[in-house]
A and B are shown apart, each in its own frame.
Chain A
């Protein structure tokens, strides 16, 4: 029983990280109608920006994290302005392919600047807290709390602000949004800022949970897409639910399968949902 609960904790931690990425993928699909394959490497970039703050500029943890969120959002907007916005008139498949190119560029850039080795934010071992036999790391509390906080902020933004509602409106019906007078270009930029911030947070949390490596985000891309599709792509709330399912399923699979099969579990779930219900459990768009 303790083992099972311990795995549930790991699953929730992993699910929180996946959720931050999946929300971004889902929002971008809702607004721009293409699957953003560079999202994993955007997460990696965020993680390394934070490393530059902590190790390079010896900033305090939280300042470095804040800086990394901002810098990643800036890069995301920059990529959109330089590349994606110019390709918007062509078919979505070309945007998708170009995002694969962006993914490769980002990854190579990270490898050139920071090298191919593993990195960590803080050396030394922190002692876990123990509750009735359950071991919980302080970083795990920070990850789940931080992710929940960011999701709450996003929820408040989407439900209660003028531009948040405009973002949902544009995801619903882009033509009607335009002829209602909504400034759709500003909504697009805002989407990239939010997706960039959430991707950076996911990368940083992943780095805190394990370690930093130039392909850390790329490896998480599959579960991120599985979660976004599971929840119904274009539906940020569905993405959160999907992420928890994928995170828990991946961790629980270690009870019966070798840990190396974790990505296969996400892949299998994605295939099942695509066959059984291509619009996801919350009825999103079809990829």
Chain B
């Protein structure tokens, strides 16, 4: 079943178009990875799914309902949550308060969800009363992902979740992303560590200049010589 779908999106941030007809699809239970050279519009394509880009033409649907021009605060209510690449925590709020803000629109008791995030990222439990701004980069990324999990989303959008992390944390974050996916959350992520990301992806897209270039399963993209030579550094 297709959850989130973008059809031939054109648009950008007000100037010229960055997206030139990109189409994406996330099915239930999938891990989908977007790769491509710098400036290909990978992050912009992801933001367009979340109402953060001026989409000039094309449409975005979630479970066959159009969400193209909904604002982000409406889209999270549908079950799509987004983790930006940068500035993705509230630095002066504690870890626990960051998670509470992720659950802002929930009016029920979400303590079980907090426990689930703590199980996924045990260091956060210890540091629950510490300001998020004082944590290490890897731990901040855990808070950022944890915040987005608080609404128990159907689709989680991750913009370069391992950017700037040490190798130890890169492995850990990828591992956790697979665990999150195993609980039934579909995942769409943009990644610089293309090989690593594609190796655990069900499907992958290669974008060039805001349009689709290749679309295939993760292993097939990795095995595709053209893709490997052009975009994965040989």
Contacts and interface: CB of A to CB of B under 8 A. Distances in A.
Nearest to A182: B104
B116 to A, nearest CB: 18
Interface in B74-109: 76-77, 82, 84, 87-93, 97, 100-102, 104-105
A19 to B, nearest CB: 20
Contact of B105 (A168, A175, A176, A181): A181
Contacts of B84: 175-176, 179
A181 B89 contact: no
B198 to A, nearest CB: 27
Given A166-B101, A166-B104, A181-B105, A176 B76 contact: no
Contacts of A178: 71-73
14 contacts: A165-B93, A165-B97, A166-B101, A168-B92, A169-B90, A169-B101, A172-B92, A173-B91, A175-B87, A176-B90, A177-B101, A179-B50, A179-B76, A181-B104
B73 A173 contact: no
Given A165-B101, A166-B104, A176-B87, A181 B73 contact: yes
B151 interface: yes
Contacts of A183: 73
A179 B52 contact: yes
Chain A interface extent, by class: 10 to 19
B87 A179 contact: no
B147 interface: yes
B105 to A, nearest CB: 4
A180 B87 contact: no
Contact of B100 (A165, A176, A177): A165
A180 B102 contact: yes
A13 to B, nearest CB: 31
B171 to A, nearest CB: 26
Nearest to B94: A165
Contacts of B100: 162, 165
B59 to A, nearest CB: 20
A181 B88 contact: no
A178 B97 CA distance: 16
Given A165-B101, A169-B101, A181 B77 contact: yes
Interface residues of B, number: 24
Interface in B209-225: none
Given A173-B89, A176-B84, 11 more contacts: A165-B93, A169-B90, A171-B92, A172-B93, A173-B87, A179-B72, A179-B73, A179-B82, A179-B84, A181-B104, A181-B151
A219 B108 CA distance: 48
A182 B73 CA distance: 7
Interface string A183-199: 11000000000000000
A169 B93 contact: yes
Interface in B36-84: 50, 52, 71-73, 76-77, 82, 84
Contacts of B90: 168-169, 172-173, 176-177
Nearest to A183: B73
A177 B89 CA distance: 9
B147 to A, nearest CB: 7
A175 to B, nearest CB: 7
B4 to A, nearest CB: 16
B125 to A, nearest CB: 19
A184 B82 CA distance: 17
A181 B76 contact: yes
A168 B105 CA distance: 16
Interface string A144-178: 00000000000000000010011011011101111
A2 B35 CA distance: 74
Contacts of A177: 90, 101
A277 to B, nearest CB: 18
Nearest to B76: A181
A90 to B, nearest CB: 14
Contacts of B72: 178-179, 181
